[in-house]
C-alpha cells in the first residue's frame, strides 16, 4: 500500500514538474498520426505553421461536458429526496416511465422565468400526478417468499403432512452435517496431535537441532562444527540421521535426491497430508510439528529438491535451521509432500 | 517529450519500488524477480547482468544468510565460473566475493551430487 501510494505521488509530482497537462497526455488520434509522422507520400501535405488541430481533436468533449449527465441524474435524485416524492414514485404505476423522469428533470433545471415557489402549488401537473401515485402506494408490498423452497420430489411426505417439516428437516440435516464435520476434524486433529507429541517425533526434532551444528562431509563423517543456520546442501543426509534417531527407519535409507524420497517415506507408513486421508494441508505453517516436508525443483529438472522437518511453529530444519520453510526463501522449490506417520489404522 | 520523460520516470520509480527488500516476507518475491532476470543469462551472458544479479542477491543476505537466490545463477556458474569470480571481485570485497563463490559451490554440488552424496549408487 505504501509502495503504491509513493508511486502515485512520484508520478503526480513528475507530471506537475514537467507541466504536462491532461490535453498533452491524451493519445494522438489515428486521424492525426499521418500528419505527425508523414508516413505515406499519398497523404495530404503537411499543414504549415501555425499548426491547426483537425476538427476531430478540437471537438473532444470537455471534462464538464462528460460529467454533465452524472450531475444531472444526481440532481434529480437529490430533488426527489428533498421533496419527499421518492416513495410515491417507487411503487407508482408510472414508475420508470420516461415522461415522469423528463418532467422531474425539467422542474429541477433552473428557469429564471418560472418561480421556484410554483412547485409547491397543488394545481401544478406534477402535484396532481403525485396524488394519483399516492393511491397506488397503498398497494400492499409483495409477500416475502421463503429463502429456500423445497421441491416436491425432495420431500413428498413432508408436503403431504403440510406441517412445515421441510424446513425442520433441512435444518436438522445441516446440523448433522456440521456435527459430522466437527467430529471428523477433531478426530483428524487428535491424530495429528498424537503424532506430533509422540516420543519418536520428539527424538527426531532433538536430533535435527543437535545435528545442524555438526559439519559432515560427503561420506557422512563429522569433520567439525558449523553455525546452525549454514546450509551445506546435504539436507537429505541430515534428515535421514534425524529419522534414524527417531526410530522411523531401522537402517540408513538410500536415495541421493530429496525430491525422490517420498516413496521411501510412504514405505515406512508416512502419509502425505497435502491430499487424501482426509487432510488438505498445503501450507507448512499448518502442518503438525514433526512433519517431513518434501520439495522438488521447478521448472525443468525436479532434482535435487529439498527436504526438511518442521521443528516448531517457527523452526524448520535439515542441515540448517531457519525460521521459515524453504518455500519462502526459494523461488524454484515447490512443495510436493507434507508427510506424517499416522497411528495404525488411520492411513 | 514531456510525456516520454514522465513515463520514463514512472517506469523507473516502479522498478525502484519493486526491487526494494524491506522485510523477510519480501524474500520470495525478490527472489522470483531475480530468477526472471537470470533467465536472460542463457541468451545474454554479459558481465553487467551477472553483476546486477549478484548485487540483488547480496541485498537479501541480512534476511537469508544462505542467499538461496544464487540458485538462479548456479547453472551459469557451472559453465562460466571464472566470469562469476571476476564479476564478483569487481562488485564486492574479497571477503564477500569468497562468500558468494562458496555458496555457489555448495548449491552447485547439491545439484550435481544430490542432497545426500553418501548414498551414491
What number of residues does chain A have?
Answer: 347
Is B58 or A2 the better-scoring residue by pLDDT? B58
Rounded to an integer, the average pLDDT of A265-279 is 88
Chain-chain contact of A20 with B17 (C-beta, under 8 angstroms): no
- Report the range of poorest mean pLDDT among A3-12, A87-96, B20-29: A87-96
- CA distance, residue B47 to nearest chain A CA (Å): 23
> What angle is formed at CA A257 by the lines to CA A254 and CA A262, rounded to 5 degrees?
75
pLDDT at A21: 47
Question: Bridge-partner residues for A224, per DSSP?
Answer: A215
Is A151 or A217 the better-scoring residue by pLDDT? A217
Enumerate residues 273 to 312 of chain A having a beta carbon within 8 A of any beta carbon in chain B.
303-307
Chain B residues within 8 A of A306 when measuring between CB atoms: 115
Write out the DSSP string of chain B.
Answer: -HHHHHHHHHHHHHHHHHT---SGGGHHHHHHHHHHHHHGGGT---HHHHHHHHHHHHHGGGT-TT-GGGHHHHHHHHH-HHHHHHHHHHHS-HHHHHHHHHHHHHHHHHHHH-S-GGG--
Flag whether residue A326 sits within 8 Å of chain B, measured between CB atoms: yes
DSSP state, A259? G
Q: Give residue A154's pLDDT band: very low, low, confident or very high (50, 70, 90).
A: low
Q: How far apart are CA A279 and CA A339, in angstroms?
A: 11
Question: Domain ranges in chain A?
Answer: 63-135, 188-341
> What angle is formed at CA A126 by the lines to CA A123 and CA A132, rounded to 5 degrees?
90
- Strand runs (DSSP E) across chain A, as ranges? 214-216, 222-225, 270-272, 292-297, 306-312, 315-317, 321-322, 333-341
Chain-chain contact of A19 with B2 (C-beta, under 8 angstroms): yes
- The mean pLDDT of chain A is 72
Residue that has been written with the C-alpha cell 527407519 in this structure: A249
Q: List the grid coordinates of A36.
A: 505527425
Q: How far apart are CA A102 and CA A94, in angstroms?
A: 12
- ipTM for this model: 0.82
Report how far apart the first and last C-alpha atoms of chain A are (Å, whole number): 45
Q: Which of B30, B116, B117 to mutate to test the interface with A (most CBs of A within 10 A)?
A: B116
Flag whether residue A19 sits within 8 Å of chain B, measured between CB atoms: yes
Residue of B nearest to A19 (CA): B2
Chain A residues within 8 A of B9 when measuring between CB atoms: 10-11, 14
**Maximum average pLDDT range among A59-63, A97-101, A182-186, A236-240:** A236-240
Whether A292 and A336 have beta carbons less than 8 Å apart is answered as no
Size of interface A-B (CB pairs under 8 A): 120
Flag whether residue A202 sits within 8 Å of chain B, measured between CB atoms: no
Q: In the CATH hierarchy, which fold is given to the domain comprising A188-341?
A: endopeptidase fold (from Nostoc punctiforme) (3.90.1720)
Chain-chain contact of B31 with A330 (C-beta, under 8 angstroms): yes
pLDDT at B54: 94
Is A3 or A281 the better-scoring residue by pLDDT? A281
Chain-chain contact of B2 with A20 (C-beta, under 8 angstroms): yes
**A39 SS3 class:** coil
Question: Bridge-partner residues for A295, per DSSP?
Answer: A306, A335
Q: List the grid coordinates of A234.
A: 546435504
Chain B residues within 8 A of A237 when measuring between CB atoms: 115-119
Question: Bridge-partner residues for A321, per DSSP?
Answer: A317
- pLDDT, one tens digit per residue, over A56-85 is 555 556 667 778 878 888 887 887 777 655
Q: Which residues of chain B have a Cβ shorter than 8 Å from any chain A Cβ?
A: 2-3, 5-6, 9-10, 13-14, 17, 20, 24-25, 27-28, 31-32, 34-35, 64-66, 68-69, 71-72, 106-107, 109-111, 113-121
Chain-chain contact of A14 with B10 (C-beta, under 8 angstroms): yes
Question: Domain ranges in chain B?
Answer: 26-119
Question: Bridge-partner residues for A294, per DSSP?
Answer: A307, A337
- Classify burial at A76, counting beta carbons within 10 Å of its beta carbon; exposed 0-12, middle 13-18, buried 19 or more: middle
pLDDT at A136: 38
Whether A270 and A339 have beta carbons less than 8 Å apart is answered as yes
Pairing between β-strand A306-312 and β-strand A222-225 as defined by DSSP bridges: unpaired
Q: Which of A4, A11, A12, A14 to mutate to test the interface with B (most CBs of B within 10 A)?
A: A14
- CA distance, residue A155 to nearest chain B CA (Å): 53
What percent of chain A has a predicted confidence (pLDDT) above 70?
A: 59
What is the mean pLDDT of each successive set of 10 residues along chain B, which is 121 residues long?
A: 66 53 84 90 83 92 90 90 93 94 93 87 72
- CA distance, residue B110 to nearest chain A CA (Å): 5
Residue A223 above 60 pLDDT?
Answer: yes
Is A276 or A251 the better-scoring residue by pLDDT? A251
Rounded to an integer, the average pLDDT of A137-153 is 49
Amino acid at each position: 500500500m505504501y509502495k503504491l501510494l509513493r508511486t502515485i505521488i512520484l508520478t503526480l509530482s513528475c507530471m506537475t514538474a514537467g507541466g504536462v497537462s491532461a490535453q498533452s497526455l491524451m493519445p494522438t488520434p489515428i486521424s492525426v498520426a499521418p500528419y505527425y509522422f508523414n508516413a505515406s507520400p499519398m497523404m495530404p501535405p503537411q499543414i504549415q505553421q501555425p499548426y491547426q488541430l483537425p476538427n476531430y481533436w478540437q471537438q473532444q468533449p470537455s471534462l464538464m461536458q462528460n460529467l454533465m449527465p452524472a450531475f444531472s441524474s444526481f440532481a434529480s435524485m437529490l430533488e426527489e429526496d428533498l421533496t419527499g416524492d421518492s416513495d410515491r414514485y417507487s411503487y407508482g404505476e408510472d414508475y420508470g416511465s420516461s415522461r415522469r423522469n423528463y418532467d422531474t428533470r425539467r422542474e429541477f433545471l433552473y428557469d429564471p422565468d418560472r418561480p421556484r415557489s410554483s412547485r409547491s402549488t397543488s394545481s401544478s401537473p406534477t402535484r396532481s400526478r403525485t396524488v394519483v401515485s399516492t393511491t397506488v402506494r397503498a398497494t400492499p408490498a409483495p409477500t416475502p417468499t421463503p429463502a429456500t423452497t423445497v421441491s416436491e420430489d425432495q420431500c413428498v411426505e413432508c408436503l403431504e403432512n403440510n406441517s412445515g417439516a421441510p424446513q425442520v428437516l433441512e435444518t436438522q440435516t445441516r446440523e448433522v452435517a456440521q456435527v459430522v464435520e466437527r467430529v471428523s476434524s477433531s478426530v483428524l486433529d487428535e491424530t495429528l496431535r498424537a503424532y506430533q507429541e509422540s516420543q519418536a517425533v520428539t527424538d527426531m526434532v532433538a536430533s535435527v537441532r543437535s545435528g545442524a551444528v555438526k559439519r559432515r562431509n560427503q561420506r557422512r563423517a563429522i569433520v567439525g562444527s558449523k553455525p546452525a543456520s549454514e546450509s551445506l546442501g546435504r539436507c537429505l543426509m541430515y534428515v535421514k540421521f534425524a529419522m534414524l534417531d527417531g526410530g522411523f527407519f531401522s537402517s540408513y535409507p538410500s536415495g541421493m535426491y530429496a525430491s525422490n524420497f517420498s516413496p521411501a517415506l510412504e514405505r515406512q507408513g508416512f502419509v502425505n497430508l497435502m491430499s487424501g486421508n482426509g487432510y488438505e494441508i498445503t501450507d507448512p505453517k499448518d502442518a503438525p510439528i514433526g512433519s517431513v516436508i518434501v520439495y522438488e525443483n521447478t521448472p525443468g529438472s525436479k532434482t535435487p529438491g529439498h527436504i526438511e522437518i518442521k521443528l516448531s511453529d517457527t523452526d524448520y530444519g535439515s542441515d540448517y535451521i531457519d525460521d521459515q520453510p524453504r518455500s519462502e526463501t526459494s523461488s524454484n522449490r515447490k512443495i510436493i509432500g507434507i508427510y506424517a506417520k499416522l497411528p495404525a489404522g488411520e492411513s | 517529450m514531456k510525456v516520454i520523460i514522465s513515463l520514463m520516470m514512472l517506469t523507473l520509480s516502479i522498478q525502484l519500488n519493486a526491487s526494494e527488500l524491506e522485510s523477510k516476507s519480501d524474500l520470495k518475491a525478490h527472489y522470483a524477480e531475480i530468477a526472471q532476470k537470470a533467465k536472460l543469462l542463457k541468451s545474454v551472458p554479459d558481465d553487467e547482468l551477472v553483476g546486477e544479479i549478484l548485487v540483488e542477491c547480496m541485498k537479501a543476505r541480512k534476511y537469508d544468510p544462505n542467499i538461496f537466490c544464487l540458485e538462479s545463477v548456479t547453472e551459469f556458474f557451472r559453465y562460466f565460473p571464472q566470469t562469476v569470480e571476476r564479476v564478483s571481485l569487481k562488485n564486492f570485497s574479497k571477503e564477500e566475493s569468497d562468500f558468494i563463490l562458496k555458496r555457489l559451490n555448495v548449491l552447485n554440488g547439491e545439484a550435481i551430487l544430490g542432497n545426500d552424496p553418501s548414498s551414491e549408487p
